[in-house]
Structure 1
Amino acid sequence: MSEKPFASSEDLAEKVETFEVIAPGVYAMSAEGDPNVGAIEARDYLICIEARATPVAAQSWLRRLREETDKPIRYLVLSHYHAVRVLGASAFGAEEIVAHTNTRDLILERGKEDWDSEFQRMPRLFKEPESIPGLTYPTMVFRDHMEIDLGGDRGTIHLSWLGKGHTKGDIVVWLPREKVLFAGDLVEAEAALYTGDAYHLEWASSTLDKVKSLGAEVLVGGRGKVVYGEKAVDNAIEQSRDFLNTLISETAKTIEAKGTLKDAFDAVYKALAPKYATWPIFEHTVPFDVARVFDELNGIADPIVWTKERDLEIWNQLQR
């Protein structure tokens, strides 16, 4: 058995939440490496971004948001499907839940398995799990691009699928006038990347190239602090790319040398730790990251479904 606590199962300390007005009518909340959330004011309604793991967990965010605006929530945008991001959706009372069509497919394929897996990995995020009414399904999906007119002189926001990445269904929310980007888990700002359901080769190349080409000056990543300034945004993107490229290169070398999954994990951990070991959820993510990239480089195109049993099997195999 592993000597290290499983995933984030012993990360039970509450995190300090930071609420920010990042542009007029544009809000975000971060929490020391926990999943970030955001909101955008239209003239007559709100667009919320991400939902947290349970309706109860979403309440501290919604209470703080209501100090700024009492507009009704018309859209809840889900950047992708992972249980900690979406199962709190019922707290928002949104008219529409928006996601990529591939995200809907992932929920249908592995929704309950992912819920069970993430609850085992990150129990602290699931405040009062009995408050979850069931799986969250989008009511509105799109493939490449969707625009929402904010009304009056507030402009338009763009929801875009830029390619496969953290999952096959990640979307970004882009405010071109304010140059604010909600990147979901395609980019993390000084937080380790979880890549257990990823498409590493596409993510590290064309997908991040498209993210960078937007020219954002404020970035809300999936985890970590809100990043301000074009240089800082580029640094966050390139840090994420470096993390991915290290996973890819060290695993590729191991496969070429006919090494095992455990050999790949040891090589990746050694290469990543000097830069990233102090970042949130690093110890949690790396075993699952290596398992997925090892599969991908061995020709398994789509991620294998994570279950509670598979989680423990991989963890104990690699962390002993």
Structure 2
Amino acid sequence: MNERWQEIGDRVYVRRHESYDMNVSLVVGDGHCLVLDTRMSHREGADLVRAIRTITQDPWTVVNSHAHFDHYFGNAMFLPAEIWAHVRCVEEIQRSGTEQRAAVAEFSPPERREEVEEVQIVAPDQTFTDRAALDIGGRTVHLRHFGRGHTDNDIVLHVPDAGVILAGDLVEEGAPPSFGDSYPLDWPGTLAAVLHELPGEVIVPGHGAVVGRAYAETQLADLALTAEVARRAYTEGLRQHFREIPYPEEVARKAIERAFLQLDA
């Protein structure tokens, strides 16, 4: 992870960062560009701005894939650009943004605490519920919300002329999926819809290495098994079923916990 841009399709770039193993994607058109996610602080956002300027000097539109701090805390560094997200992403940032900042500062190492505390919470100003299409310098980039999964506000970007799917944290590489505020019973159907409806062989996860459809299909099967085991555990009252889930124990227990909350509701 040397934090250099990797061109994964025609003028579609990914920069993978050591911090949180986080991916930022850049789509370049004629006279305009799109930036997906802005990293976890003003300082990391400023570093990203400098990196983008090694590729293009064009103005940008920003998109936040979902309302987790590592994907939007750098938003202020991209103003006064439009920032797009799912409507629930904006609602979540407005509701919990300051709480997220305090929590991140608390668990950050001392040398990074000030960096987090200085973050200005900036929520997106452009929203949609199901789909939107952005003209990025003559290229159409589709924004889609397929349903709940990693959160209730995950969106996926499709760059059809490059055959690239920017999947956000609905797909994870290099670590298990994160179930912290997830919807494990919905996640398989959401990812299945992504893979069924969007053509493209190159898939960019929110974290980790760029993958292909075969990898995403394998992750879909694991998520489907997780949902099936969680339903059975709920019916039988046996949380011990977590051992059948193909993730480490802590991750599997969290997945069952979140699934039980869905079933209780």
- How far does the alpha carbon of each residue in 1:252-300 deviate from its partner, in whole angstroms, 9 at most, with x for none? 33323323xxx34xx4256424xxx5xxxx96x5554332122123x23
Is 1:255 aligned with 2:234?
yes
Change (3 A) 1:107 1:41: same
Q: How does 1:1-320 map to 2 (within 5 A)?
A: 16-31=2-17, 34-73=21-60, 75-120=61-106, 128-133=115-120, 135-151=121-137, 154-205=138-189, 207-213=190-196, 214-227=198-211, 233-259=212-238, 263-264=239-240, 267-268=241-242, 271-273=245-247, 285-297=251-263, 299-300=264-265
Question: Structure 2 vs 1, CA of residues 59 and 198 (structure 1 numbering), >3 Å: closer, same or farther?
Answer: same
Which structure 2 residue ranges, 5 or more long, are not aligned?
A: none
Q: State the AA in 1 paired with 2:77.
A: A
Q: CA deviation at 1:42?
A: 2.4
1:174–1:182: 8 Å Cα contact kept in structure 2? yes
- The whole-number CA distance in structure 2 between the counterparts of 1:184 and 1:109 is 21
TM-score (norm 1): 0.73
Distance 1:136 1:163, change over 3 A: same
Supply the AA of the counterpart residue of 1:212: L
**Higher relative contact order structure (alpha carbons within 8 Å, sequence separation ≥ 6):** 1
Contact 1:247 1:293 in 2 (8 A): no
Cα distance in structure 1, aligned partners of 2:62 and 2:159: 16
Q: 1:236: how far off? A: 2.5
Read off the aligned partner of 2:214 and give its amino acid letter: N
TM superposition shift of 1:30: 1.5
Is the CA contact 1:188–1:236 (under 8 Å) kept in the aligned structure 2?
Answer: no
| Separation in structure 1 between the aligned mates of residue 130 and residue 108 of structure 2, nearest angstrom | 31
**Distance across 2 between alignment mates of 1:290 and 1:56:** 36
> Aligned partners of 1:203 and 1:295: how far apart in 2?
14
TM value normalised by structure 2: 0.87
Structure 2 contact 40–72 (Cα < 8 Å) conserved: yes
Unaligned stretches of 5+ residues in structure 1: 1-14, 228-232, 301-320
- Which segment is superposed worse, 36-45 or 54-63? 54-63
Say if 1:126 and 1:25 are closer, same or farther in 2 by CA, change over 3 A.
farther
CA contact 1:200–1:293 (8 Å) conserved in 2: yes
Whole-angstrom distance in 1 between the partners of 2:237 and 2:37 = 41
* Residues 190/96 of structure 1: CA separation in 2 closer, same or farther (3 Å cut): same
Aligned-residue Cα RMSD (Å) equals 2.6
Larger strand proportion of the pair:
2
Query: In the comparison of the two structures, how many residue pairs are matched?
Result: 262
Identity %: 29
1:182, distance to aligned residue in structure 2 (A): 0.7
Judged with a 3 Å threshold, the aligned counterparts in structure 2 of structure 1 residues 292 and 140 are, in CA distance, closer, same or farther, namely same
Q: 1:90 Cα shift?
A: 1.1
AA aligned opposite 1:236: Y
